[in-house]
Amino acid sequence: MSAPSEFHPRDVLGVITAIGAVTSVGRSAASSCAAIRAGISRPRRVSHFQVLDPETQDTLPLTAHPVQGYTDGFVGMGRWLRLARGCLREVLETPGLPRPSDARFWSSTALMMVAPSRDDGVFEVEGDDGLDGIREYCLRPLRDALGLSLPDANVRVVDQGPAGAAAAVQQASGELWRAGFERILVLAVDSLLDPEALRVLDEEGRLKVGDNPVGLMPGEAGACFLLEQEGGARQRGAAPLALVTGVATAQERLHLYAGHVSQGDGLAACIREVLARGSRPARFEGDLYSDLNGEEWRAREWGTALIRLGEELDAPNVHLPGVSVGDVGAASGALGVCQAVHAFVRGHSRTRQALVVSSSPWGTVGCLRLHSAGT
């Protein structure tokens, strides 16, 4: 299927041909996205971490959004690997895709794992770029367990947190397409329920505890999508689920860990950049998937970004997946993509276009623009 007539081929950065997800409300992309759309939520008290109630000074179990019965007993990268294996397997089992052992097909594919920022301090920094541990103890075991014929050189890590999905697509549509890659598996995993992650969040006062009206509820998820060059996907007979028509990333100079209140200028610039692409730029009135999580800094950033954007956003339909699954950290951007694609396929999108916006406490922000592949 070719791009809708309102797009010149050069406006399409790539097409999404498969999605996969594991969340606290579903073990597949379809079940997760349908549950989130229906407002289903399954918060639970987790026994492995206690928090102090600010009112009573009693210790209480933390309420969070674990993938119950799926990640129990796993910690650290073992937990990431469990989530990654579930969502990546779903993508690899998409009808029409060659078997994972087909070296000829998969050798022209890059696997890019979106992970938390190294600055978060939730994993041990190793190697020249600090990411050797993730490659050695997560990505290579994942590849081998699924029998995926990918050379080591095709396996990469993007440690940009929530904005990592946008950063991965940006790399794909630029340097990776130019380097001869035909497709990219964007795999995003994170768990804010790991004991070390919880300890850091608790020390920083970022958890929603007791009757505190602000703060995040920790979640965990794995989300994956296959992005292909449009010509190659069409040549192999794949039916695109969505078109990626814009991507941008930026760095907020004023961010949470800089001790400032973000002014939203980087986020506004990203949204403005993706809306300016195409032959007929217009005010955006489609679906918008945001990783707002209940923290005040993120709400202020979004609010100031809206003011900067003025009338460029025309009352978009805002979706907040975190209400159902909690804050899923680095997985949030890819999960937003899966939700947008699912809405296109199921006919839920009112304008057949969507924005996925992401913000990191370290100031990295990103935005993706998607359109339905339907005519």
pLDDT tens, residue by residue, 48-79: 888 877 677 788 888 999 999 999 999 888 99
Strands, sheet with 220-228, edge to edge from the N-terminal-most edge strand: 155-158, 109-114, 183-191, 220-228, 14-22, 242-251, 364-372, 353-359, 287-290, 317-319
pLDDT of res. 336? 99
**4 has a pLDDT exceeding 60:** no
Distance CA 331, CA 190 (A): 6
Average pLDDT over residues 116-136: 71
pLDDT of res. 318? 96
**115 has a pLDDT exceeding 70:** yes
Q: Where are the domains of the chain?
A: 9-13+241-372, 14-235
- Provide the pLDDT confidence category of residue 3 given band limits of 50, 70 and 90: very low
The three-class DSSP label of residue 131 is: strand
Residue 369 DSSP label? E
144: CB partners within 8 A, 6+ apart: none
Is the Cβ–Cβ distance between 359 and 365 less than 8 Å?
Answer: yes
**125 has a pLDDT exceeding 60:** no
Distance CA 34, CA 15 (A): 22
Average pLDDT over residues 230-243: 95
Average pLDDT over residues 191-213: 87
Q: How far is CA 214 from CA 20, 31, 221, 299, 319, in A?
A: 31, 29, 22, 10, 19
Work out the mean pLDDT of the chain and round it to a whole number.
91
pLDDT of res. 5? 46
pLDDT of res. 12? 93
Sign of CA dihedral 327, 332, 336, 342: negative
The three-class DSSP label of residue 102 is: coil
Question: What is the tens place of the pLDDT at every residue in 332-360?
Answer: 999 999 999 999 999 999 899 999 999 99
Under the phi-then-psi rule, with left for phi > 0, alpha for psi from -120 to 50, and beta for the rest, what region is 59? beta
pLDDT of res. 364? 94
Q: Where are the alpha helices (DSSP H) in the chain?
A: 29-37, 76-92, 103-106, 132-134, 140-145, 164-171, 177-178, 195-203, 230-235, 265-275, 296-309, 322-325, 332-346
Question: What is the tens place of the pLDDT at every residue in 258-303?
Answer: 887 788 999 999 999 999 986 666 789 899 999 999 999 999 999 9
pLDDT of res. 1? 42
pLDDT of res. 7? 55
- What is the number of other CB atoms lying within 10 angstroms of the CB of residue 127? 11
- The token duo for 277 is 């692409």
Sign of CA dihedral 268, 274, 276, 282: negative
Distance CA 194, CA 189 (A): 12
**375 has a pLDDT exceeding 60:** no
Give this prediction's pTM.
0.94
**189 has a pLDDT exceeding 50:** yes
pLDDT of res. 121? 63
Tell me if the domain spanning 9-13+241-372 has CATH number 1.20.120.1200: no
The residue ranking higher by pLDDT, 230 or 5, is 230
**127 has a pLDDT exceeding 70:** no
**132 has a pLDDT exceeding 90:** no
pLDDT of res. 175? 92
Distance CA 186, CA 87 (A): 11
Sign of CA dihedral 305, 306, 308, 314: positive
Is the Cβ–Cβ distance between 42 and 65 less than 8 Å?
Answer: yes
Q: Which amino acid is at 117?
A: S
Average pLDDT over residues 320-329: 98
Q: Report the greatest alpha carbon distance in the chain.
A: 64
Say whether 14-235 and 9-13+241-372 share the same fold: yes
56-70, 153-167, 175-189: lowest mean pLDDT where?
56-70
Which residues are registered as beta bridge partners of 218? 327
pLDDT of res. 348? 95
- The count of C-alpha atoms lying within 13 angstroms of the C-alpha of 82, restricted to the half-sphere facing its C-beta, is 20
Task: Give CATH for domain 14-235.
Answer: 3.40.47.10
Is the Cβ–Cβ distance between 289 and 354 less than 8 Å?
Answer: yes
- Provide the pLDDT confidence category of residue 27 given band limits of 50, 70 and 90: very high
